[in-house]
Structure 1
């Protein structure tokens, strides 16, 4: 901390003071002009609560939503990378039909508002897939079992598993369009001479992509890919519109039942900031 303070310029202190004054003024304005009664003392109980029957602390609304947001972000991120890599490779394929299909998918998703995309994917794909595979009955069967601790650790309440899967699929399909463009740019940044050299020693197109192009491309796309994952975490709030019980959905429930509007949303914003800023620091180390 002393080293950090030594690096601060006098202008940094001025900015910090201005921010503190601004926050104080807003708080006083809300409490005075709007006659709002701040109830910060009740917020911790909606993060963790004491369960008398089990004699331990358990997650309450906000923490439950935070855990679901993390789960959805991780699973959707993995699926988006897989789909996006395939799309990026398809965008650079020699076959014209494959290139056109990949580009149509990417351009469609990148030029339509996210909320519209969410509803289209949910009603026309995700929901139909869950019904076709009978996932809801399967999940309820697991929920009735006594030894389902591993399932709950990875997916939470199995009764809500179908909505979780819907959110993951919808979010991954949406984000894969942006990942695909990042991968395409990375592939095309590899010098053409290296690809020609791979072909000259008898490598097939698949071997060329696997051993020569993708290893170099992935190194170059790591920074934008990291940024896209942070964006995915923030975009996960959109799936609250299809009733996935992540952090934003739980905050809406909390506000509706307690009317603690400012406290709930400020804490939610803080949770998103902690996740995204922590990821930013992690990816900065990874880039180095």
Structure 2
């Protein structure tokens, strides 16, 4: 802790004072202008609450939303990584048709607002897939079972499973475009000499990718990929627009029913900050070790 303070210079202290002054100004403006009655004592009950009937603690709205956000972010990250890697490899393909199809997909997603993309994917792809696989009936049958604990651990409330799937698919398809560009940049950063050497010893194109190009490319793309996964967590708030019950959606519900406007949104912002900042520190440590 002392070493941290030793690293601070006079300019750092000036910035901290300015930030503290700004926060204080905003605080007093809210207090004076809006005459807002703070009710922070109610917020803990919407995170964890004691159930008098079952005599146990249970996760309330905000914690339910946080758990859903974590699940959606994990599953969407895995799917986006798989799709993005395929797109990145396709962008570097020798086949012009494959290369153009991948580029069309990437450019389409990168140049249209995220909200529009979310609605397009939800109504034209995700919703049809859920109906085709009859996921709603299947998830409801699971929800009626007594031994559904393992399902709820991984997917939450099984009655909301179709909503979870929609959120994961929509978010993964949107984020895969950015992951694909990161992978493409990583592949193209590998020197041509190494590829030519691989071909000279008789390696096929797939062997060249598997043994020479991708192992080196993946090491180079770890920092931007980590940043993209953190961005994915923040972007997950967009899918509340299609009624996916993650943290932002639950916060809207809480504000509508209790009018705890500032308390609810500040708490939600704190949850997002803890998630993203914690991951940022974790990835930074992994980068230094590697």
Match of 1:243 in 2: 243
User: Whole-Å Cα distance in 2 between the matches of residues 24 and 196 of structure 1?
Assistant: 62
Say whether the 8 Å CA contact 1:65–1:249 is kept in structure 2: yes
Structure 1 segments of 4 or more deviating over 3 A?
none
User: Whole-Å Cα distance in 1 between the matches of residues 68 and 148 of structure 2?
Assistant: 17
Match of 2:240, SS state, is helix
Match of 2:49 in 1: 49
Deviation track 1:69-110 (CA, whole Å, cap 9, x = no partner) reads 000000000000000000000011111110011001000000
Say whether the 8 Å CA contact 1:31–1:38 is kept in structure 2: no
Match of 1:263, SS state, is helix
User: Whole-Å Cα distance in 2 between the matches of residues 31 and 257 of structure 1?
Assistant: 22
TM-score normalized with structure 1 length:
0.98
- Cα RMSD between the aligned structures? 0.9
User: Whole-Å Cα distance in 1 between the matches of residues 52 and 11 of structure 2?
Assistant: 51
Match of 1:5 in 2: 5
Which segments of 5 or more consecutive residues in structure 2 lack a partner in the other structure?
none
Match of 2:147 in 1: 147
Match of 1:43, SS state, is helix
User: Whole-Å Cα distance in 2 between the matches of residues 176 and 137 of structure 1?
Assistant: 29
Equivalent residues in 2 for 1:50-89 (5 A)?
A: 50-89=50-89
User: Whole-Å Cα distance in 1 between the matches of residues 6 and 192 of structure 2?
Assistant: 48
Match of 1:57, SS state, is strand
Deviation track 1:242-278 (CA, whole Å, cap 9, x = no partner) reads 0000000001011111111111111111111111111
1:230 deviates by 0.5
Deviation track 1:204-224 (CA, whole Å, cap 9, x = no partner) reads 111110010000000001111
Match of 2:18 in 1: 18
Deviation track 1:2-24 (CA, whole Å, cap 9, x = no partner) reads 22223222332332233222222
1:54 deviates by 1.8
Match of 2:109 in 1: 109
Match of 2:274 in 1: 274
1:32 deviates by 1.7
Which segments of 5 or more consecutive residues in structure 1 lack a partner in the other structure?
none
1:28 deviates by 1.8
TM-score normalized with structure 2 length:
0.97
Deviation track 1:43-88 (CA, whole Å, cap 9, x = no partner) reads 1111111111221211111111011000000000000000000000
Match of 1:58, SS state, is strand
Match of 2:90 in 1: 90
User: Whole-Å Cα distance in 2 between the matches of residues 123 and 166 of structure 1?
Assistant: 10
Match of 2:230 in 1: 230
User: Whole-Å Cα distance in 1 between the matches of residues 267 and 5 of structure 2?
Assistant: 27
User: Whole-Å Cα distance in 1 between the matches of residues 111 and 139 of structure 2?
Assistant: 35
Match of 2:169 in 1: 169
User: Whole-Å Cα distance in 1 between the matches of residues 125 and 270 of structure 2?
Assistant: 33
User: Whole-Å Cα distance in 2 between the matches of residues 86 and 72 of structure 1?
Assistant: 21
User: Whole-Å Cα distance in 2 between the matches of residues 45 and 4 of structure 1?
Assistant: 36
Deviation track 1:172-229 (CA, whole Å, cap 9, x = no partner) reads 0000000000000100110001011111111111111001000000000111100100
